[in-house]
Structure 1
Amino acid sequence: MWLLESDEFQEWLNKASPRLWLSGIPGAGKTVLASAVIDSAINQCCNDSDKGVAYFYCDYKDDQSQKLHNILGSLAAQLATQNDQSLQTLEKHYNMFHSPGKLSVNSVKPSLVQIIQEMSVYFTEVFIIVDALDECGQNVATVVESLASLNTRNKYNIKTLFLSRDEYAISSCLQSGFVHIPIAARSHDLKLYVASQIETRMNSGRLRIKSPALKDEIMEKLVNGSGGM
């Protein structure tokens, strides 16, 4: 796949480039690309247990997926399952927030951003991927600003990759400090990727298709529905 082979992505995955933003028009194949990126990050972490990965898909049809605390909470929970010390950090903050008498009325809770940053120190690297930022509705500015702050000035060992439409509320926040890759139409590449994913799922038993015609129809709808990459 073109993205996975690009210099920008390889720099993000393997070197010291911590912030990447992919943008494209509706139907440009962003979510398919997000899945490919997530697979690559997971494979990277499988080869090194000291690395962590967390991801999230925003969805305009699901109000809960558009809320910042749900996005950050999911990312934190995923990291907690990958490292015991990271889990203890999350549990410590959870207990502080939920146990009677442990916080005064005037105590200020650290944000989930800060908690994720604390959790990240127990990994050599943390990959965070969030798809469809533009589908966060009225929350988009807050979501983007908070996610972008996860690794401001590369103070933490967190690598972030975001996908969205190129909208002002997003670009105004991400254009500085993020490597930007516009997504162009590459339908042939998409067809190859979709075909390989269908085969993988069929071989693992997660997808059962007896009819070759149905398999071709599914692939055609996925490719045409994405509008290429």
Structure 2
Amino acid sequence: MSDPLSIAGSIAGIVQLSASVFQQVSKFIKDAKGAEKTVKDLADQTRNLSGVLQNLSLLASSLEQETSISAFKAHHLHACRQTPLAVGKRLDKPLSGFNEGSRREAVYRSLKWPFSVDDTKGLLAQIEGHQSTISLTLSIDTLESMLKCLEKQDSIIGSISLLNQKVERLTAIQTRIEYDEKRQKIIDYFMKVKPQVYLQTSSRLRQPLTGLWLTESNPTFWKWADLPRSGLWLSRIPGAGKTILSSMVIEKTLQKSSQSVAVAFFYCDYKNIDSQKLLNVLSTIAVQLGQQNHEAFGILEEYHAGLKSASGLNAEPEPKDLLDLILTIISVYAKVFIVLDGLDECGDNVAEVAEAIKFLFEASSSASIAVFSRDEPIIQDEFAAEFAHIEIAAHTEDLDIYIRAEMAHRRQPHNLSIQNPLFAEEIRHQLVNGAQGMFRWASCQLDYLCDPSTNRARREALTRKPLDGRLYFWEVGRCQDASSQRRGGGLY
């Protein structure tokens, strides 16, 4: 697979999106009688937006090889994507009727531009604003890169790199108190599984735009993050990028952490037996919360001292005692966030882990807990009543931008050369709808579409039905083997 995880890859996907919307709007200008001048202006500005985005993509590709800052952040990309995405969705229905219905019906439908004059002007203003932001970014980042080349000194850059900021934020959970050797031994005793390793890996893999539909646009998530106590259950099908999303939620909560707001997180991994044990889940949550406040660490230290037997050896803690410990530590803070990923991967321990997490939620008045898992009956029974529910697979924005970026990248080496733009759009629609939220399925299909040499053969490949759950993991393994032979591995 290509690298759709970079800023450049994300921008490439938006370039394809804006170009597609330009073609849609242009069709209204061509076929609709009395089209408003603002419609033509909208088409022109959308085309211009695609052009400046292409320049930004080229610049980002060069800057990503450096440790340079990019002045253009992910939320800017999100805004640039949302405007053409909204236009495209509104135009899909009338254009579908124009393309598929009779000519007489098409002419009738084409007369109806789906936006009011004011709405069209508003969209025009948004797109012009995006262009201004990007143009400014191009000048800033080009100057920054030029200065670095001329001076050969990183000190010219006056702020910390984004990567360093992220690492600093992720490690802040461990650096708020001054550790001595005794304290480090206590931390090592409880930290049987290191969730930071999983978080750092997922953060490296995440595409900059991934998950913004959740953290920036979803009122259910906002409510969970803002209320003093709330539960959130996010379910997904295999391959829907669940762990990537959970890591983004963790990072979002880490930004809120302080002396009075603590964050704990844990990744259950079917490949790591230690991560499936309730004792390790609770111990890790306890030690993370204990590290973020002096008073909290004192509680953890006192509990650890009580575990010593007469022989001086530490006794094994009991899950019930750990639950009481966590609740005591939570009481030190004004607010606590707990995020658990992959509950369904706990094997035979799913029920007891789910029950323990639910107990923490019910017994605390200041804990907001988010659980990521498959939609399995045993998990649903625990969380459906009291936790708000978000179905991850129901959201296709991340998948759509991923497929656009992949198709744009694969055209460059001509291994997916499609001269017919309408057929390219048909491929995108088929992949987005057929994947049912599974990134890996879409990647497999793109791999296969690269093999046929004709569009006829590619069209036949598109007729394959989406994989059901029984075949999914078998297909993933087969695709990974094929991908490794071609490009050396994949993402999900």
Tell me if both proteins adopt one fold, taking TM over 0.5 as the criterion: yes
Between 1:78-87 and 1:9-18, the stretch displaced more is: 9-18
- In percent, how many aligned pairs have the same letter? 38
Distance 1:178 1:109, change over 3 A: closer
Measure, in 2, the Cα distance between the counterparts of 1:113 and 1:147.
9
Between 1:10-19 and 1:128-137, the stretch displaced more is: 10-19
Secondary structure class of the residue paired with 2:352: helix
User: How far is 1:114 from its partner?
Assistant: 1.2
Q: 2:323 aligns with which of 90, 110, 113?
A: 113
Corresponding residue for 1:3? 214
Corresponding residue for 1:91? 301
Q: 1:71 aligns with which of 281, 285, 292?
A: 281
Corresponding residue for 2:367? 158
Corresponding residue for 1:53? 263
User: How far is 1:93 from its partner?
Assistant: 1.2
- Opposite residue 225 of structure 1, the aligned amino acid is R
Secondary structure class of the residue paired with 2:223: helix
Deviation by residue 1:8-60 (Cα, 9 ceiling, x = unmatched) = 11111112451110001111111011011001000111xx4310001000000
User: How far is 1:143 from its partner?
Assistant: 0.4
Between 1:181-190 and 1:168-177, the stretch displaced more is: 181-190
Q: How many residues align?
A: 193
Distance 1:227 1:186, change over 3 A: farther
Measure, in 1, the Cα distance between the counterparts of 2:392 and 2:335.
26
- Opposite residue 26 of structure 1, the aligned amino acid is P
Q: 1:147 aligns with which of 329, 353, 357?
A: 357
Measure, in 2, the Cα distance between the counterparts of 1:87 and 1:174.
30
User: How far is 1:224 from its partner?
Assistant: 3.4
- Opposite residue 69 of structure 1, the aligned amino acid is L
Measure, in 2, the Cα distance between the counterparts of 1:30 and 1:190.
12
Corresponding residue for 1:224? 439
Measure, in 2, the Cα distance between the counterparts of 1:139 and 1:59.
12
Given that 1:28 and 1:184 are in contact with CA atoms closer than 8 Å, whether structure 2 keeps it comes out as yes
Given that 2:228 and 2:335 are in contact with CA atoms closer than 8 Å, whether structure 1 keeps it comes out as no
Corresponding residue for 1:21? 233
Between 1:89-98 and 1:117-126, the stretch displaced more is: 89-98
- Opposite residue 144 of structure 1, the aligned amino acid is A
Measure, in 2, the Cα distance between the counterparts of 1:127 and 1:41.
7
Q: Flag the structure with higher strand content.
A: 1
- Opposite residue 387 of structure 2, the aligned amino acid is F
Measure, in 2, the Cα distance between the counterparts of 1:19 and 1:109.
21
How do residues 34-45 of structure 1 correspond to structure 2 at under 5 angstroms? 34-45=246-257
Q: Where in structure 2 are there 5+ consecutive unaligned residues?
A: 1-211, 313-317, 403-412, 414-437, 444-492
Measure, in 2, the Cα distance between the counterparts of 1:168 and 1:109.
24
Measure, in 1, the Cα distance between the counterparts of 2:286 and 2:240.
29
Distance 1:191 1:44, change over 3 A: farther
Measure, in 2, the Cα distance between the counterparts of 1:79 and 1:118.
10
User: How far is 1:62 from its partner?
Assistant: 0.5
Measure, in 2, the Cα distance between the counterparts of 1:226 and 1:73.
36
Larger radius of gyration, structure 1 or 2? 2
Distance 1:85 1:185, change over 3 A: same
Given that 2:241 and 2:439 are in contact with CA atoms closer than 8 Å, whether structure 1 keeps it comes out as no
Secondary structure class of the residue paired with 2:368: strand
User: How far is 1:176 from its partner?
Assistant: 1.5
Measure, in 1, the Cα distance between the counterparts of 2:229 and 2:263.
16
Measure, in 1, the Cα distance between the counterparts of 2:301 and 2:287.
10
Measure, in 1, the Cα distance between the counterparts of 2:336 and 2:330.
6
User: How far is 1:110 from its partner?
Assistant: 4.9
Given that 2:266 and 2:339 are in contact with CA atoms closer than 8 Å, whether structure 1 keeps it comes out as yes
How do residues 101-140 of structure 1 correspond to structure 2 at under 5 angstroms? 110-140=320-350
- Higher RCO structure (Cα 8 Å, ≥6 apart): 1
Distance 1:190 1:95, change over 3 A: farther
CA RMSD for the aligned pairs?
A: 2.6
User: How far is 1:180 from its partner?
Assistant: 1.0
Name the TM-score, length of structure 2 as normaliser. Answer: 0.37
